[in-house]
Amino acid sequence: MNKLIIYDGSCPMCRLYTKGMVAADQSGRLTRLSNDQLVQHTIISRLDRQRARHEIPMVDLDSGETLYGVDTWIYAFGRRSDLIEKLLSFKWFKVILQKLYAFISYNRRIIITAAPGRWQLLDLQPEFHIGQRLAFILVIFGFISGLFATGYVNVWPPAFLGLVVGQLTLAGLYLILTQRYNLLETMLDYTGHLGMSLLIGGVISALGAITGWAILSLVGFALLIGQHFIRTYRLGLSPWLSVCFTMLSLLLLGSHDNPTHF
């Protein structure tokens, strides 16, 4: 039976792992297609559009049966591993997988930012879920706190806290003054992107400290600034937020030590 995986073409993670799914299939009957290339209404009609936004669908082109999310992953990878099959016999394991899958799926465009997609017959952009976004923010800033605990990120904690609080205050004021109708959603999205920018820069800088390669510390600081510019632009926010972020980063992160040691 020929099966087709339909993935979010604007999601870099989706493009990567669906490519792995197809490569892992030994039958040669599993293919994939991005939503921006999908024009067959007969296939679209077989989908639960709401569910497909958050759980990747796999359509059996012969029978019309459709699997979603974790079940699609199990079909693609589970049959190749006796260990996975054994674990899947435990109900609690599948529940954990579903929770993890939902967490990543709802936040996938915050984890790896994507350019705004063009119009498509099938929109697979994930909906905003306040619980999932708040959980993501807690996890990301938890990881950043963990970097501080290692001692490899050479930043004075009060200065770092000042950067985060100061930037979020500026972003909040900007959103209020521009009278955004979706203020809470945009603010939480921005906070997630800010956290990812800080995490990416911090991880690269920590690698520089671990390896002794000073160039990685410079790269980490550059990525910190660059990621914020890209992510703010793709959120449709003013570039002045990134200008302010750059100035605050240089002022506060450089107030205790050389800013290249972020």
What digits encode the pLDDT tens for the residues 208-246? Answer: 888 888 888 889 889 999 999 999 999 999 999 999 999
Residue 118 in any domain: the answer is: no
Residue 225 in any domain: the answer is: yes
Residue 260 in any domain: the answer is: no
Between CA 126 and CA 53 the distance in angstroms is 5
In this structure, the answer to whether residues 8 and 40 fall within a common structural domain is yes
For residue 229, what are the contacts with CB-CB under 8 A and spacing of at least 6?
239, 242
Residue 66 in any domain: the answer is: yes
In this structure, the answer to whether residues 135 and 229 fall within a common structural domain is yes
* Mean pLDDT of the chain, nearest integer: 87
Average pLDDT (155-168) is 86
In this structure, the answer to whether residues 100 and 13 fall within a common structural domain is yes
Whether 129 has a pLDDT exceeding 80, the answer reads yes
In this structure, the answer to whether residues 95 and 146 fall within a common structural domain is no
What digits encode the pLDDT tens for the residues 11-68? Answer: 888 999 999 888 877 777 889 999 988 888 888 888 999 999 999 999 998 887 899 9
In this structure, the answer to whether residues 134 and 102 fall within a common structural domain is no
Between CA 36 and CA 15 the distance in angstroms is 12
What percent of the chain is helix, strand and coil (3-state, nearest 5)? 65, 5, 30
In this structure, the answer to whether residues 142 and 236 fall within a common structural domain is yes
Whether 163 has a pLDDT exceeding 70, the answer reads yes
Residue 123 in any domain: the answer is: no
- Residue 184 domain boundaries: 130-254
Residue 164 in any domain: the answer is: yes
pTM: 0.89
In this structure, the answer to whether residues 79 and 152 fall within a common structural domain is no
In this structure, the answer to whether residues 74 and 144 fall within a common structural domain is no
In this structure, the answer to whether residues 137 and 243 fall within a common structural domain is yes
In this structure, the answer to whether residues 170 and 134 fall within a common structural domain is yes
| Count of domains forming the chain | 2
Contact 205, 217 (CB under 8 A): yes
Between CA 230 and CA 194 the distance in angstroms is 11
